[in-house]
Amino acid sequence: MDGNRTTEANRPCVIYAVSDSAGETGEAVVRAAVAQFHSAPTEIRRRPFVTDKSHIAAIVAEARDEQAIILYTLVLPHLREAMGHYARRDGVMAIDALGPLLDGLELRTGIKPEYKPGLNHQLDADYFRRVEAVEFAVKHDDAKDHSGILKADIVLIGVSRTSKTPLSMYLAHRKFKVANVPLVPELKLPDELARVPSWRIIGLTIDNQDLNQIRRERLKALGLPDTAMYAAPERIERELAYAREVMDRLGCVVIDVSRRAVEETASLIMEHIRNAGGQPI
């Protein structure tokens, strides 16, 4: 009996993100909620492009058998009604993340919704700028192409494992073209860096102990001993001292990424750039 209880307790909570479009919005909402329960095992299953009632009935039946939760972002009224009907019938917890807001907006504005799934993912100018920014970030990651330093909206500099690449990609999805440059004492800085306005350069720093832990975990993931020089405290201290010297010389803003989520750091960067008068090119 005790064994059964343990198994039940360890079972992940399954959450379905159901949409009549790509399902990105619903999944993002689920992930935001799940992040508040980091110790609870969860499993997110996206069910995109749901277009008929039979598909909804099948998903609800599956969720019933899994004792799962459904979060749905269905734009079409008949699909929303079907979800509510089948969920009530089968005793499944189903949360409408979009319907109440659509109804509220209609009530407040007096305008009927378009009822067209996927309107926020249309191939418009913003979409192509975002794609271009992502391609730029990939091409100019780790200063692979120095020419990107002068073309970038933002140039990130910092030692290894200060989140330069994840930040570049996150900012790219906000339509900023980002180049990032690793600061290594043994490597010459790109000449282009001295020609970039200081407000476009963001220095990333981190606590010594945090960086030591991150690098040790990285070495383990690569199957290497965590005692390698890459994670040695004296090596880390030397790199961070060099990075501080470079950042002081460039006169750039410096952000400490220690124990900060990528999203939080990116928000600080975007606020700085916009206050300085910079916008995505």
pTM: 0.65
CA–CA separation, 10 and 2 (whole Å): 12
Tokens representing residue 195 in the block = 């020609």
Nearest CA among 13, 16, 63, 8 for reference residue 37: 13
Residue 276 has φ and ψ, to the nearest 5°, of -85, 0
Pairing verdict, β 201-205 and 178-182: unpaired
Q: What is the pLDDT of residues 76-128, one digit of tens each?
A: 999 999 999 999 999 999 999 999 999 999 999 999 999 988 777 655 677 78
3-state secondary structure of 203: strand
Contacts of 35 (CB under 8 A, 6+ apart): none
- What percent of the chain is predicted at pLDDT more than 90? 79
pLDDT band at 230 (very low <50, low <70, confident <90, very high): very high
pLDDT band at 145 (very low <50, low <70, confident <90, very high): confident
Cα distances from 132 to residues 110, 129, 152, 235, in angstroms, run 37, 5, 12, 37
Domains of the chain (ranges; CATH) run 2-121 (3.40.50), 125-275 (3.40.50)
CB atoms closer than 10 angstroms to residue 214: 19
3-state secondary structure of 70: strand
